[in-house]
């Protein structure tokens, strides 16, 4: 067991696998979160009831969140390790322009979009999760936040960054799983685009909707 964990965290393929599996889980969480957010279109009562129902699912809700946190931390930890490994391996000066090691603009910006997403998630949790919902219910807190165009703009920009991160991550996780046969490449690219657009636009549209109806 210990040897297996050491392999996952120290070997190159182990780290890529961990990155791909945790990334896939995080995309899965985003898909569920996006589905939950659609309840907001059904109005304040429906959304607040849905949120209350989720919180009443104890201890499963806490177990789920601990799992999510662990997965997120492993994704960040391996991402940081890979960033420094790539930095050390990167050729210098003129060689940089030769697309070293098959790196693309998308893959090079992954650490930076990742850091921005981490900052967004911390801010997002402070805004909507670690708040008292007993006096002002969560829908009303969300509506009050997005009545401010500044917050709407900030969320829309964050969703573009999330979409950008996913667009490359989705592609590279298929590479890691070895599904890169020329026959499947166009399909994977199309699927990646659909997932990116659904998540980016799906999340980004709610703050705009709440601003309009405010
Ligand atoms: C417009 C976009 C979004 C809106 C309106 C939104 C709204 C919310 C709300 C209201 C909650 C608190 C639910 C509750 O405790 O009752 C929440 C929790 C959370 N959100 Fe978002 N969210 C958005 C996008 C995102 C994105 C893009 C991410 C990740 C990159 C994210 C990650 C989380 C996490 C980790 C939690 C806490 C998890 C949990 O409670 O189980 N959210 N969100």
Task: Report the CATH number that the domain containing residue 171 is assigned in CATH.
Answer: 1.20.1300.10
Q: How much distance in Å is there from the Cα of 164 to the middle of ligand 1?
A: 18
Q: How many CB atoms lie within 10 A of CB 82?
A: 17
Closest CA to ligand 1's atom 1: 203
Proportion of the chain above pLDDT 90, given as a percent = 68
Answer for the pair 139, 214: CB distance below 8 angstroms, yes or no. no
Among 124, 210, 214, name the best residue to mutate to test ligand 1's pocket (greatest count of ligand atoms within 8 A of Cβ).
124
Closest residue by CA, ligand 1 atom 38? 65
Q: Is the CB of 143 under 6 A from ligand 1?
A: no
Q: Give the residue-averaged pLDDT of 60-70.
A: 97
Section 88-92 average pLDDT: 70
**pLDDT tens per residue across span 124-180:** 999 999 999 999 999 999 999 999 999 999 999 999 999 999 998 888 888 888 777
pLDDT value of residue 97:
43
Query: pLDDT averaged over the chain?
Result: 89
DSSP string, the chain: -HHHHHHHHHSHHHHHHHHHHHHHHHHHHHHHHHHHHGGGGG-HHHHHHHHHHHHHSTTHHHHHHHHHHHHHHHHHHHHHHHHHHHHHHPPPGGGGGG-GGG--HHHHHHHHHHHHHHHHHHHHHHHHTSS--SSS-HHHHHHHHTTSHHHHHHHHHHHHHHHHHHHHHHHHHHHHTT---TTTHHHHHHHHHHHHHHHHHHHHHHHHHHHHH-
100 pLDDT band, cuts 50/70/90, is very low
pLDDT at site 1: 66
Can you give the pLDDT at residue 106? 66
Which atom of ligand 1 lies at the shortest distance from residue 51's CA?
16
Name the token pair of 37. Answer: 């957010």
Does residue 96 have a pLDDT over 50? Answer: no
Q: What percent of the chain has pLDDT over 70?
A: 92
Q: Is the CB of 124 under 6 A from ligand 1?
A: yes
Two structure tokens written together for 15: 């780290």
The confidence score (pLDDT) of residue 171 equals 84
Q: Is the pLDDT of residue 81 over 70?
A: yes
The finding on whether 166 has its CB within 6 A of some atom of ligand 1 is no
Range of the domain at 35: 2-213
Question: Which of the listed residues 129, 195, 214 should we mutate to test ligand 1's pocket, taking the one with most ligand atoms within 8 A of CB?
Answer: 129
Q: Given a cut of 50, is residue 198 above it in pLDDT? A: yes
pLDDT band at 22 (very low <50, low <70, confident <90, very high): very high
pLDDT the model gives residue 176:
84
Work out how many domains the chain is built from and give that number.
1
- pLDDT at residue 92, rounded to an integer: 58
Q: What is the pLDDT of residue 91?
A: 63
């Amino acid at each position: 067991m210990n040897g297996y964990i050491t392999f996952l965290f120290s070997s190159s393929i182990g780290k890529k696998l961990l990155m791909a599996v945790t990334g896939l889980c995080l995309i899965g969480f985003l898909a569920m979160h996006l589905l939950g957010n659609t309840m907001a279109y059904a109005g304040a009562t429906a959304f607040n009831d849905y949120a209350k129902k989720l919180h009443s699912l104890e201890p499963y809700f806490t177990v789920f969140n601990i799992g999510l946190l662990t997965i997120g931390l492993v994704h960040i930890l391996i991402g940081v390790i890979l960033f420094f490994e790539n930095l050390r391996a990167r050729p210098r000066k003129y060689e940089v322009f030769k697309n070293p090691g098959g790196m693309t603009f998308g893959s090079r910006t992954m650490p930076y979009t990742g850091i921005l997403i981490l900052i967004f998630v911390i801010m997002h949790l402070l805004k909507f999760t670690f708040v008292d919902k007993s006096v002002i219910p969560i829908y009303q807190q969300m509506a009050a936040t997005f009545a401010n165009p500044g917050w709407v703009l900030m969320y829309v920009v964050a969703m573009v960054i999330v979409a950008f991160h996913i667009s490359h991550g989705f592609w590279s996780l298929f590479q890691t799983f070895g599904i890169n046969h020329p026959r499947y490449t166009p399909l994977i690219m199309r699927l990646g685009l659909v997932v990116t657009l659904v998540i980016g636009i799906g999340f980004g549209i709610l703050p705009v909707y709440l601003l309009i109806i405010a």
